[in-house]
């Protein structure tokens, strides 16, 4: 599947709250990879179905500490963390800060607060991966191997390998994938800064191409031919940079 909703692991020991949280996530358009009442089960689910974000309670049913669980999750694979807690004391907050959560949500919360916390957590985590990409015009969020696009009140995942080319259209960008087109409001310069330089290259003032999607170049016609049949104009000022990215054999 090309587009996937943000995948969330829920770690909450109260069954009623866990069920309510999963219902809220479904309404927000997110996918729940699993729900765990204990640290042990949370770690197992984390490995079996890697999530994009973890919502976790500070105090769990088996007496384990959600903050220590967060530390272990970070050790295995960094992932945006959102703490859910009924505790509002400063000591708990200071301990939680040590593991670098992206958000701290006090109970009780509603759908709006939850949605805002998740979106901010994903954005903060994305920027931590690319500290130089500090543009505020973030219509897409970079995470490993994917970009995250806002669509209504949710975030959609688009795999970078499926993102074949991008087209500038005034203040908008059209992102063309194997199956559909997405449109975001941001500049080409801002988006290019957020994409892996080794994978994406500007071939024209209006086009960016995924090097993995290029089938051939027609240098006589000044065209880049992509898998799926798309043909992009190759601007003379971008030709040499593109050719330097390729491994050329023969004379």
Highest mean pLDDT among 68-72, 85-89, 156-160: 68-72
Mean pLDDT of the chain: 83
Average pLDDT over residues 189-209: 87
pTM for this entry = 0.57
Question: HSE of 133 in the Cβ direction (CA atoms, 13 Å)?
Answer: 26
| Residues 18, 9 contacting (CB under 8 angstroms) | no
Q: What structural domains and CATH numbers belong to the chain?
A: 3-129 (3.40.50.2300), 159-245 (2.40.50.1020)
As a residue count, the chain comes to 251
| Residues 7, 31 contacting (CB under 8 angstroms) | yes
Q: How far is it, in rounded angstroms, from Cα 66 to Cα 98?
A: 12
Average pLDDT over residues 178-203: 85
| Residues 116, 125 contacting (CB under 8 angstroms) | no
pLDDT band at 129 (very low <50, low <70, confident <90, very high): low
Average pLDDT over residues 89-116: 82
Q: Where are the alpha helices (DSSP H) in 78-181?
A: 90-97, 111-129
Q: Is the predicted pLDDT of residue 194 greater than 80, yes or no? A: no
Least confident residue range of 55-64, 88-97, 236-245: 88-97
pLDDT of residue 127: 65
CA angle 24, 61, 11 (to 5 degrees): 35
| Residues 224, 235 contacting (CB under 8 angstroms) | no
Partners of 199 in beta bridges: none
pLDDT of residue 239: 92
Average pLDDT over residues 83-109: 80
Q: Is the predicted pLDDT of residue 139 greater than 60, yes or no? A: no
Residue 43 tokens, joined: 């770690």
pLDDT of residue 250: 66
Instruction: Determine the 3-state secondary structure of 143 from DSSP.
Output: strand
144-186 pLDDT, tens digit per residue, is: 577 778 776 677 888 888 999 999 998 889 999 988 888 888 8
pLDDT of residue 2: 41
Residue environment code for 110-132, b if the CB has 16+ CB neighbours within 10 A, otherwise e: eeeebbebbbebbbebbbeeeee
Q: Is the predicted pLDDT of residue 27 greater than 70, yes or no? A: yes
Residue written as token pair 């995250």 = 148
Q: What is the DSSP letter of 124?
A: H
pLDDT band at 138 (very low <50, low <70, confident <90, very high): very low
């Amino acid at each position: 599947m090309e587009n996937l909703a943000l995948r969330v692991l829920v770690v909450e020991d109260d069954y009623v709250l866990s069920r309510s949280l999963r219902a809220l996530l479904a309404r927000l358009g997110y996918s729940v990879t699993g729900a765990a009442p204990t640290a042990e089960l949370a770690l197992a689910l984390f490995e079996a179905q890697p999530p994009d974000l973890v919502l976790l309670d500070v105090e769990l049913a088996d007496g384990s500490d959600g903050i220590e669980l967060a530390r272990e999750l970070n050790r295995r694979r960094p992932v945006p963390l959102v703490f859910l807690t009924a505790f509002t004391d400063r000591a708990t907050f200071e301990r939680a800060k040590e593991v670098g959560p992206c958000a701290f949500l006090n109970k009780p919360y509603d759908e709006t607060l939850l949605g805002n916390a998740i979106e901010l957590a994903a954005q903060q985590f994305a920027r931590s991966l690319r500290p130089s990409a500090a543009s505020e015009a973030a219509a897409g969020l970079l995470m490993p191997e994917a970009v995250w696009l806002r669509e209504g009140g949710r975030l959609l995942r688009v795999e970078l390998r499926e993102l074949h080319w991008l087209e500038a259209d005034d203040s908008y960008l059209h992102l063309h994938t194997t199956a559909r087109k997405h449109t975001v409001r941001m500049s080409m310069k801002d988006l290019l800064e957020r994409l892996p330089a080794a994978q994406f290259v500007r071939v024209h003032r209006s086009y960016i191409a995924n090097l993995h999607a290029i089938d051939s170049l027609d240098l006589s016609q000044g065209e880049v031919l992509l898998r799926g049949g798309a043909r992009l104009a190759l601007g003379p000022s971008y030709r040499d940079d593109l050719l330097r990215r390729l491994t050329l054999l023969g004379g």
